Amino acid sequence: MAAIIDIIVPDLGDFDAVEVIELLVTAGDSVAREDGLITVETDKAAMDIPCPENGVVESLSVAIGDTVSSGQVIGKLKVEVSDTVVIAPALRYEPTGDTTVLASPAKPDGQPQKSGGVQTLVVPDLGDFEEVEVIEVQISKGDRINTDDPLVTIETDKAAMDVPAIVGGRIESVLVKVGDKVSKGSSLAIIEADAPVAQPEPAADGVAVADTSAADETAQQTPVAAKQQAPAAQELPSINEAGFSRAHASPSVRKLARELGVDLAQVKGNGAKDRILHDDVKAFVKAILTGQSAAPGGGLPKTPSVDFSKFGEIDVQPLTRIQKISGPRLQASWINLPHVTQHDLADITDLEAKRQELKGPAKERGISLTPLAFIIKAVVSALQEYPKVNSSLSDDGKSLVLKKYVHIGFAADTEQGLMVPVIRDADKKDVYELAAELGELSALARDGKLKSDQLQGATFTVSSLGGIGGTAFTPIVNAPEVAILGVSRSSMQPVWNGSEFTARLMLPLSLSYDHRVVDGAAAVRFTTYLGKALADVDSLIQATP
């Protein structure tokens, strides 16, 4: 036979008019005893209000933003009469910091109270919960504690709770550790008591009080016996406990986070007052699985925030739109790709002589024949010889995407920031066509008139700093490409030809690559081939698409 009973807010201790911040169930949901129904938040902690019985939610009479107090009816629950029992003892929720204290049940009238002497502190009646995990031990040997000071923090699937001391004194030994499982009557510590137990609060009218004789009997056990009963510690998820405990989240969210191994200190809350919701934890895990963020424990420490104005005059200038876009992409590439840079030198003595010879006739055709055009032509030849460098790693990381086209991106320095225009089908163009397109795209980049398709699709990027200077650098791979070529300023250097040193114009090459795709041997073969291609200028000029 079914009956409709009221869902009543349990004793909230000293708190009144507590705000409802989350509804965990809706009308029609089947719930079990102690399932969370709503989450409320005081100025100290968030806690779940548990369901009193097994049944089906008939209705909830509160909404997010409402306030509730002890004894208030917040809804109706449909239960089977045969399943209805009196819960004993009554649990009084006392928020302290980020946890919820489970107050010790009051002893029946007339039961003798313990005074001083060596005593065993045990776990009070936990209701329907058994084998509850210890997530924090708040005492150590030699500590002096007062009545109601927390001994350990335990966590059920509904709430985190502190187990308080029933007597003050000095801790002789601690019998549990983080990861142990405890139940009613489990021994927690041995204490040299120096004060009688504080008189408990009377039980609420109409609520049965549990018989604590079993707990008292357990309290007479020796420390050795108590240790034998304590189960072996279980390994906990790798979580920063200090940050986890400070996170603004309800007990049910904390439970979910522990089950998934999520450090709440790394999760951004989107609830009221930046509170972390269930969906925030799930979104964090999804981002990790899809590679959109670093894994738990792998988060980067933040750089310190400094008020520079206290040291002198400053001028704050906003980043350009391009800098705002390129910065996070470069950072993501640097973090996610294992970068290695191979440095090499290419002899371009003959190339530069030939370029000077052809520069005049090319200018008459309206073409600026720069060294970069020859470098790109040589890069195309090297990519055709080593197609893996012209590939991308698949999203699942299990295969390579080999591209049968060659689109070359080149870094263009503009007043707005670094831009990378793309020369499409570079393998189908000769040196003069490459030089002409370089000039056109560079002019568009400087004027901010590049179209979106002129900035997409590159399979390989060349970053040339030769016109500015430098001897070598480590360019960041433009993901999802797997390599990028850095070119520094060429210089005359003595080179041994087998019989004597001769002056040669040497070009520094810096090839950065994704080590998951390209290994060191392949990288040095690529730069060696590229150097040979640059040295054979006639082949570059005569090469026809």
Tell me how far apart the alpha carbons of residues 331 and 328 are, in angstroms, rounded to a whole number: 5
C-beta separation of 524 from 363 below 8 A: no
Catalytic residue status for 278 = no
Tell me how far apart the alpha carbons of residues 494 and 503 are, in angstroms, rounded to a whole number: 5
H or E stretch including 258? helix 251-260
Of 278, 339, 343, 515, the active-site residue reads 515
Tokens coding 206: 């109409």
Tell me how far apart the alpha carbons of residues 533 and 540 are, in angstroms, rounded to a whole number: 7
The DSSP output letter for 224 is: H
> Using alpha carbons only, how large is the chain's radius of gyration in Å?
36
Contacting residues for 347 by C-beta, under 8 A, at least 6 apart:
495, 504, 505, 506, 507, 531, 534, 535
H or E stretch including 501? strand 501-514
H helices of 99-250, where?
A: 213-219, 223-229, 241-246
> Which contacts qualify for 214-219: CB closer than 8 Å, 24 or more apart?
214/184, 214/185, 215/122, 215/123, 215/124, 215/125, 215/184, 215/185, 218/120, 218/122, 218/185, 218/186, 218/187, 219/119, 219/120, 219/121, 219/122, 219/187
Tell me how far apart the alpha carbons of residues 243 and 263 are, in angstroms, rounded to a whole number: 8
Tell me how far apart the alpha carbons of residues 247 and 139 are, in angstroms, rounded to a whole number: 22
3-state SS of 276-326 is: ECHHHHHHHHHHHHCCCCCCCCCCCCCCCCCCHHHCCCCCCCCCCHHHHHH
Tell me how far apart the alpha carbons of residues 18 and 532 are, in angstroms, rounded to a whole number: 76
Q: Which residues are identified as catalytic?
A: 515
